[in-house]
Amino acid sequence: MRKLLVLAVLVTLMSVAMAQPFEENKAINETNFEETKSKILQALDERIDKLLEFKEKVEKANNSEELNKVLEEQKLEIAKIRAMNEINATIKRLEKVDESIKETISELESMKDRIDNASNVESVKETMKDVKEVLVNLTNELGIYKPKRLFLKP
């Protein structure tokens, strides 16, 4: 029963973590209706596919060791998605600030590759610590960005 509860929580977390924010400030009108609708449906299809893939892996697990491995893989996937969303949002904010911070944006882009290639949650956490360090340095140098607490605790 406990494992089912953990599984339900992970599925919920995954669906929340995978939620790619749609352009909230963008008004939907007749001009962009079809494109917006298409993007939303595509994002939903991607989420459903990932959840079905996760369900299949859970169903195939024959013992606690296999199920724990599936859950660890899922935690890694969720950590990667959250980290990528955080970096992408930061890059978007930085692009609006100043052209002179292209080097910082390049550093953040390279960290996305590190996250994408991470093989465990600890690697993702370490990369996010590096992201925070880059942003703190930017704050100290230019005084333009105050990083909020990143989602991964050291």
Structural tokens at position 119:
């093989």
Residue 9 within any structural domain of the chain? yes
**Whose structure tokens read 């882009």?**
109
- Counting the structural domains of the chain, the total is 1
Residue 147 within any structural domain of the chain? no
pTM exceeds 0.85: no
Residue 150 within any structural domain of the chain? no
Average pLDDT over residues 136-152: 62
pLDDT given at position 16: 47
Residue 43 within any structural domain of the chain? yes
Residues 141 and 117 sit within 8 Å (Cβ to Cβ)? no
d(CA 86, CA 103): 18
Residue 153 within any structural domain of the chain? no
Residue 148 within any structural domain of the chain? no
Could you list the residue range(s) of the whole structural domain that residue 107 is in? 2-142
d(CA 25, CA 23): 6
The band of 5, judged by pLDDT with boundaries at 50, 70 and 90, is very low
Quick one: 30 exposed, middle or buried, by C-beta within 10 A (0-12, 13-18, 19+)? exposed
Task: Tell me the CB-side half-sphere exposure of residue 9, using CA atoms within 13 A.
Answer: 8
d(CA 123, CA 108): 15
Show the beta-strand stretches assigned E in the chain.
none
pLDDT given at position 146: 54
Residue 96 within any structural domain of the chain? yes
What is the per-residue pLDDT across 89-99, written as a single tens digit (0 to 9) for each?
Answer: 888 888 777 66
Average pLDDT over residues 120-126: 92
Average pLDDT over residues 13-29: 58
Average pLDDT over residues 52-78: 94
pLDDT reading at 7 higher than 80 = no
